Amino acid sequence: MAVVTRDKLSSANSPNREVPLEWTRNIGIAAHIDAGKTTTTERILYYTGVVHKMGEVHEGTAVTDWMEQERERGITITSAAISCAWTTSSGPYADIQHRINIIDTPGHVDFTAEVERSLRVLDGAVAVFCAVAGVQPQSETVWRQATKYNVPRIAFVNKMDRTGADFFGAVDDLREKLGANAHPLYLPIGAEEKFSGMIDLVSETAFQFDESDEMGVKAIDIPIPEAMKDDVAKYRDALLEAVSDFDDDIAEKYLAGENVTVEEFKLGIRKATISLEFVGVIPGSAFKKKGVQRLLDAVVNYLPSPLDLPPMKGLNSEGEAVEIAPDDSAKPAALAFKLWSDPYVGKLVFIRVYTGTIKKGSTLYNPRTRRSERVSRLMVMKADSRDDVTEVNAGDICAVIGVKDVITGDTLCDSDLDLRLAPPTSPDPVISMSVEPKTKADQEKISRGLGRLSEEDPTFQVTTNQETGETIIAGMGELHLEIIRDRLFREFKVEADSGKPQIAYRETIAKEADGEGKFIRQSGGRGQYGHAVIKVEPNEKGKGIEILNEIVGGVIPREYIKPTMDGIMEASNNGVVAGYPVIDFKVHIIDGSFHEVDSSEMAFKMAGIFAAKDAMAKASPVLLEPVMKVEVTTPEEYQGEIIGDLNRRRGRIQGMDSKANVCIVTAFVPLETMFGYATDVRSLSKGRASYSMEPSHFEQVPAGILTRIVETSSRAPART
């Protein structure tokens, strides 16, 4: 892997391109809530010259936390895109200005889908960890998401200035909990209030933070402290050995005992990082402005450009795999990964351009709608501000104005390009509640507002209860729905009353069973006839619904197979226990019959519904409830009260870990029992404990609780 100088740039770059692909980095900052993502991003923006005053989360002045709700709560709710430039002073890319497109992602579990959408379009990621807490539950989720989309990453162990900070403990956590091949790139000099400098293991140099420089720009070169020389030798040798697994030239030199140059070493780390099998770790304290510049150097030196990654895969209209590589001169193709309603300019569609050049005023084709959309404006985002541009190129992240019928996950491409890129996946909502406007006059406004918000956020769903006429909103947690209600009030001027939150239960089956469905109507005019026989069986957890056509001899004609399947899928939306969606089962369509004249698609769809309901009722149906993975961080003196309370909530304790007089309790707890837990945990610990939770899995509801759920469910099927 050689360094690309300007005279060796790829032909994929357009002559008009401001920053070549080789010197472009699309990265995300992701982590558990309160690990310091936004503070890290704010420091990056300052050091790269985007802002001239550092914003602070606790003061509500963070640039990337630009929503009112974010500034009030001190958390990130929506991912913010921002572009900046950085020139590293050392290594293979020294003195070359790079463009870094950064997305600061939310840390709260309720907005985890926002992280997923961002990671889908990024080339690399900075995973931020707390030096005190190490790897936390949401850190694990983010890590899994990055692995799912093959995103290379580096780790930043933040808050090295905090009491209880343990850099090496965090590195061990990365290895043990995440299975990462993690190696320090720098060693911290001191910890907690004595965190005073860092040692670069690659160049074997040390520096001290200049405490007289309030902005943290200056560092003073110092000799490596005598007491740390053995550690430096040990960790450098381990780093060199790890990198040699990915670079044959380094491996030869390492085995021969020859010197590896700094430039060779850094290119080897880059190759290892891009392989997805290596993670370099950097210590620092974003709040105290320590280590952030070294993090920026690592982003430039070690994270990939768009050209370093494999071609993006998609499907053509025939369902065949298609690959596209970054190339400014190719036909354009981009993925819409986020929508946002702006009060001034209307709908903003955030896109990642994978290939080609998109110009202002050009027309793009949407394969989902089979319609063309005109691009009236193109903008490069600077958090809540934006710069208009006339064109964007392969590898760019920008916002488009003017496209109308576009949703998250849509491909926008040239009309001659037969391509659909894989969209980011979204988890199903776990909680719902009813909302009603306080006045009749607000009815239209609430419908418009909810429609707009569900368009922006695929994890937010709006339905109408057919029996009661109530509007039901569903999302990923209490905070998620609270933010939705708040945005209705602030952005759409609608005050709404809400009902009690409802759990998104699921149903499944426990054994095999046969089912038969007949739909026969003979009442004047043309009759209706559909007949299907099926067998159902449990499927593996997480496999969803599989329907297999095993009809032989044409007892059900081919044209009626799909309507039968559609009927089975429709029946699965309302189970036989309490009316909740049915998951993880397999269906075999094995027999049936038809009528030459009276059979129709509608008749076979109804037969599919009846057959599925019949089979499910015989297959020992069970009700499943969402179970959360909960992690509570508490001073040790409140450990007993916290555990006792979790047990009362039907929780199962999974582990306890002590770090610096703080106990970390992990447990699986049913979501049903966790409402209002934020208040309860504060009360139990006199405000000193904190917690996080994320959806884990579904489990069968205990018999003692089942009756109550069925009786109170608004979805329950009518009892005859």
According to the model, what pLDDT value does residue 107 have?
Answer: 44
In tens, the pLDDT along 475-508 reads 877 777 887 888 788 777 887 787 777 788 999 9
Three-state DSSP class for residue 71: helix
User: Of the ranges 421-425, 551-555, 621-625, which one carries the lowest mean pLDDT score?
Assistant: 421-425
In tens, the pLDDT along 53-73 reads 554 444 444 444 334 443 343
* Number of residues that this document lists for the chain: 720
H-helix or E-strand spanning residue 208: strand 205-209
Is pLDDT of 526 > 80? no
Confidence of residue 675 (pLDDT cuts 50, 70, 90): confident
The CA–CA distances, whole Å, from 199 to 91, 94, 186, 196, 233 equal 16, 19, 5, 11, 11
Which tokens is 15 given? 């002559």
CB 507 within 8 Å of CB 574 = no
According to the model, what pLDDT value does residue 385 have?
Answer: 65
* Alpha carbons within 13 A on the beta-carbon side of 563: 18
How high is the mean pLDDT of the chain?
85
Nearest of 501, 564, 499 to residue 530 by alpha carbon: 564
Distance CA 650, CA 667 (A): 10
Is pLDDT of 6 > 80? no
Q: Give the DSSP letter of residue 167.
A: H
Distance CA 258, CA 568 (A): 67
Three-state DSSP class for residue 198: strand
Strand partners, 621: 509
Cα angle for residues 29, 31, 33 (degrees, 5° grid): 120
* pTM exceeds 0.75 for this model: no
Distance CA 636, CA 658 (A): 8
Distance CA 126, CA 245 (A): 23
In tens, the pLDDT along 565-622 reads 999 999 999 999 988 999 999 999 999 999 988 899 999 999 999 999 999 999 999 9
Distance CA 293, CA 216 (A): 9
Is pLDDT of 456 > 70? yes
The DSSP code sequence of 218-252 is -EEEEPPPGGGHHHHHHHHHHHHHHHHTT-HHHHH
According to the model, what pLDDT value does residue 5 have?
Answer: 56
Interhelix angle for 677-684 vs 639-648, to 10°?
A: 150
The DSSP code sequence of 313-368 is EEE-TTS-EEEE---TTSPPEEEEEEEEEETTTEEEEEEEEEES-EETT-EEEETT
Quickly tell me which residue has 């209307």 as its tokens: 346
Distance CA 246, CA 277 (A): 9
Is pLDDT of 135 > 70? yes
Cα angle for residues 411, 455, 71 (degrees, 5° grid): 110
Three-state DSSP class for residue 166: coil
Strand partners, 200: 186, 205
CB 141 within 8 Å of CB 111 = no
The CA–CA distances, whole Å, from 676 to 327, 385, 679 equal 52, 37, 6
Distance CA 5, CA 93 (A): 9
Distance CA 339, CA 349 (A): 5
According to the model, what pLDDT value does residue 176 have?
Answer: 92
Distance CA 353, CA 429 (A): 29
According to the model, what pLDDT value does residue 444 have?
Answer: 78
Three-state DSSP class for residue 588: strand
CB 665 within 8 Å of CB 651 = no
Strand partners, 367: none
User: Of the ranges 166-180, 343-357, 378-392, which one carries the lowest mean pLDDT score?
Assistant: 378-392
Confidence of residue 429 (pLDDT cuts 50, 70, 90): confident
Quickly tell me which residue has 């963070």 as its tokens: 62
Distance CA 176, CA 444 (A): 53
Radius of gyration of the chain (CA): 28
Beta strands per DSSP E along 438-505? 461-464, 471-475, 496-498, 502-503
Mean pLDDT of 410-427: 85
Cα torsion 117, 118, 122, 125: sign? negative
Q: Which amino acid is at 231?
A: D
Category of 440 on φ-ψ map: left (φ > 0), alpha (ψ -120 to 50) or beta: alpha
User: Of the ranges 188-197, 316-325, 375-384, which one carries the lowest mean pLDDT score?
Assistant: 375-384
User: Of the ranges 149-163, 181-195, 268-282, 460-474, which one carries the lowest mean pLDDT score?
Assistant: 460-474
Confidence of residue 384 (pLDDT cuts 50, 70, 90): low
Is pLDDT of 670 > 80? yes
How do beta strands 585-593 and 545-549 pair? parallel
According to the model, what pLDDT value does residue 600 have?
Answer: 93
How do beta strands 24-31 and 506-509 pair? unpaired
| Greatest mean pLDDT among 370-384, 424-438, 544-558 | 544-558
How do beta strands 279-283 and 182-184 pair? parallel
Q: Give the DSSP letter of residue 285.
A: B
